[in-house]
Amino acid sequence: MNGIKIRGTGRGVPSKVVTNADMAKIVETSDEWITTRTGISHRHHLAEGETITDMTVLAARRALENAGVTPDQIGACVVATLTADTQVPSAACRVQRELGLPHDTVCFDLNAACTGFLYALHTMECLLGASERKFGLVIGAENLSRITNWADRGTCILFGDGAGAVVVECSPAYESIHAFLGCHGTDEMLRVPGVEKGVPSLVYMEGTKVFKFAVEAVPYCIDQVLARTGKTVDDVDFFVFHQANARIIDLAVRKYRIPQEKYYKNINEYGNTSAASIPLVISELHEQGKVGPGSRVLVVGFGGGLTWGGALVEFA
């Protein structure tokens, strides 16, 4: 079976920075209230004239340059998102057009909420195994400020916009990422109503229940990935968690006694960017030299659906 490894990374972040003080002007809250409960102090929102397509294309272009791969070498492009600029054409088709990917490139969007990037990675591993071109673009991108309920102080403080991308390479010499994915279909805790439903298409979330789900899902995914790969915590070079809440990450770190040099939090700067969260972390780590050729990274995500997942990904 063919496996995939990461060859390059990139990200695109909106220019508008929204602080907790800015949020306090919109709803009844404070910097202290937000930071102690979530770990967030800033988030980026799309400014007037910016689009999620702009961020997605920018992240993809940077990932290609970083990987040393040209558009004509791409065999598939999958964008994990629930907030594309248009339902049709898809965000992935817009990337194809803007970057000039070959017309026979498989391009589509995938929605698994905050776990979307992991679902897309596994999907890409399957796609490239049957493709003549062995490089793929996997992108997570969100415009969550567009679907935020600005009257709900419990959720509007959480979300940010942005895009992260990776170029992956497929080879029979590479081990599988051993993706572990799952879902439990429910809209009771976390949902975004569809169009023409008579209610606004805004995020609804019961924070306490989602937090409880997350603190159970994260160790479950870690255990499953380690069992599938036959690895231990010591065999992993870096842990990348979906950045939903700093306390969720801290609980996992304590449970597995993960050293400080083996995990990273950027929720302070970006907030929860859903499907963009994990690739934003990976891009920053790569840029800072904390991961690189040969690095083994255990990635964990969880989100609406409810969905969850984990994988062990290496850098080429």
Question: To which residue do tokens 């999958």 refer?
Answer: 78
Exposure letters 270-290 (e unless 16+ CB within 10 A, then b): bbbbbbbbbbbbbbbbbeeee
Domain count within the chain: 1
Query: d(Cα 274, Cα 117) in Å, to the nearest integer?
Result: 9
pTM of the entire structure?
Answer: 0.97
Q: What is the CB neighbour count within 10 angstroms for residue 257?
A: 7
Catalytic residue, candidates 44, 45, 272, 286:
272
Contact assessment for residue 133 and residue 106, using Cβ atoms and an 8 Å cutoff = no
Q: Which residues contact 169 (CB under 8 A, 6 or more apart)?
A: 4, 5, 6, 7, 67, 134, 135, 316
pLDDT for 196: 73
Q: Give me the pLDDT at residue 199, please.
A: 81
Domain hosting 191: range is 1-316
User: CB of 257 within 8 A of CB of 236?
Assistant: no
- How many other C-beta atoms are found inside a 10 Å radius of the C-beta of residue 36? 11
Nearest to 82 by CA among 201, 210, 212, 208: 201
pLDDT of residue 51: 97
Q: What is the pLDDT along the chain (316 residues), one digit of tens a residue?
A: 799 999 999 999 999 999 999 999 999 999 999 999 999 999 999 999 999 999 999 999 999 999 999 999 999 999 999 999 999 999 999 999 999 999 999 999 999 999 999 999 999 999 998 899 999 999 999 999 999 999 999 999 999 999 999 999 999 999 999 999 999 999 999 999 987 777 889 999 999 999 999 999 999 999 999 999 999 999 999 999 999 999 999 999 999 999 999 999 999 999 999 999 999 999 999 999 999 999 999 999 999 999 999 999 999 9
- What CATH number does the domain containing 223 carry? 3.40.47.10
Q: How far apart are CA 266 and CA 280, in angstroms?
A: 9
CA distances from 19 to 16, 189, 235 (A): 10, 27, 38
Label the pairing between strands 296-303 and 307-314: antiparallel
pLDDT value for 197: 76
* DSSP run (H or E) holding 207: helix 207-229
Helix (H, G, I), strand (E, B) or coil at 53: helix
Instruction: Give the strand pairing for 180-183 and 307-314.
Output: antiparallel
Q: Which residues pair with 218 in a beta bridge?
A: none
DSSP at 72 = G
Angle at 56 between CA 53 and CA 58, to 5 degrees: 105
Query: Rounded CA gap, 243 and 284, in Å?
Result: 13
Inter-residue long-range contacts of 13-16, CB under 8 Å, 24+ positions, other chains counted:
13/44, 13/55, 13/162, 13/163, 13/270, 13/280, 14/44, 14/45, 14/46, 14/47, 14/50, 14/55, 14/161, 14/162, 15/44, 15/47, 15/50, 16/44, 16/45, 16/46, 16/47, 16/50
Is 143 among the catalytic positions?
no
Catalytic residue (one of 77, 114, 156, 221): 114
Residue of 170, 242, 245, 286 with catalytic role: 242
Phi, psi of 80 (to 5 degrees): -90, 115
| 170 carries an active-site annotation | no
Tokens 């700067």 map to which residue?
269
| Residue 128: per-residue pLDDT | 96
Contact 53, 98 (CB under 8 A): yes
Q: Annotated catalytic, 114?
A: yes
d(CA 13, CA 55): 6
